[in-house]
Amino acid sequence: MQFCANDPAELLAAAEMIQDNVDAIDLNLGCPQGIAKKGFYGCFLQDEWDLIHDLISTLHINLRIPVCAKVRVFKDRKKTIAYAKHICSAGVSILAVHGRTREMKGAWTGLADWDIIREIRENIPRDVVMFANGNIQYHGDIERCLAATGVDGVMSAEGHLYNPAIFVDPLAGMEIRHPRIDLLAREYLEIVKALDDPMSNVAVKAHLFKIFRVGLEVHKDLRAILGTSRGSEESGRAIGMMEERIENALAEESGDVEGIPWYRCQPYLRPEREREAVREAENNKGKISEGASDLEVSG
């Protein structure tokens, strides 16, 4: 179970309530979103090294289960390595490193730095398990990341949301590695229904929009239909309309299709204007204004 926190006593009290139902407690020190800044958690604790140590060590000393943490990096490589060592000294069993700085989000995201992840792996204790996060868009990126960083495993956030099959057998066929967006969306909606939980309709639609991303670029009229849907029944109708479009497309296909068709799950590749923004930021020595750092680029 992952927690966002900035008070050691409150974090411990919450963790003790669930420690018999989970395998580990994870501390989120990587979230760069505005809500994390407002609540003073995630990567906005990055400069509070004593507080971070207290949060982790309090759990490590008092819980019966392991403690994990996920962090972002600093622009200064030596500071980043010192930061990772500091967190390990507090008692984490697993350290996940997102190879981007706090400022690298939205229009300023850019590529994660696998080199600094490798340097951290080489400088922290070997008994601390380490995961890499960033740049995992296709299954092949997993092995490339493991080879480049020497870590024990990888994490995928954005890539996994757009294609939840990213970790399946790379030798499997296209229909398994890149499932049809309508079939996967239908499966997801059935899982939500089975949970019988008052889950936010906004959260459900957010997932469906990611699964449908390329399909909605082709069939733009369905974007508004999905966006205005209320509840699982209306979302199901939107999925049904997408299913009909896909069946029509399949009926019109002849022979092999080059690349990944629009109706199959695939990663979100950030547009060129975002890469230009990142280069501009680097040219300005990373001095990003408060407003610019909150820009979002839509798919």
263 exposed, middle or buried (CB, 10 Å; 0-12, 13-18, 19+)? buried
In the set 4, 31, 88, 265, the catalytic residue is: 31
Is 265 assigned a catalytic role?
A: no
Question: Tokens 């690298």 label which residue?
Answer: 104
Encode pLDDT of 17-36 as tens digits: 999 999 999 999 999 999 99
Which is more confidently placed, 228 or 280? 228
User: What whole-number percentage of the chain has pLDDT above 70?
Assistant: 88
Task: Indicate the average pLDDT of the chain.
Answer: 88
- Residue range 203-217: average pLDDT? 93
CA 253 from centre of chain: 34
Containing 71, the helix (H) or strand (E) segment is strand 67-72
Quick one: how many helices (H) and strands (E) in the chain?
15, 6
How many Cα atoms are found within 13 Å in the side-chain-facing hemisphere of 40? 6
Determine if the pTM surpasses 0.85.
no
Per DSSP, what are the bridge partners of residue 3? 27
| Residue 270 predicted with pLDDT over 80 | no
Q: What is the pLDDT of residue 107?
A: 62
Q: Give the Cα separation of 216 and 263 in Å (integer).
A: 9
Encode pLDDT of 156-205 as tens digits: 988 899 999 999 887 888 889 999 999 999 999 999 888 877 767 788 89
Encode pLDDT of 38-55 as tens digits: 999 999 999 999 999 999
Encode pLDDT of 113-171 as tens digits: 999 999 999 999 999 999 999 999 888 899 999 999 999 999 998 889 999 999 988 78
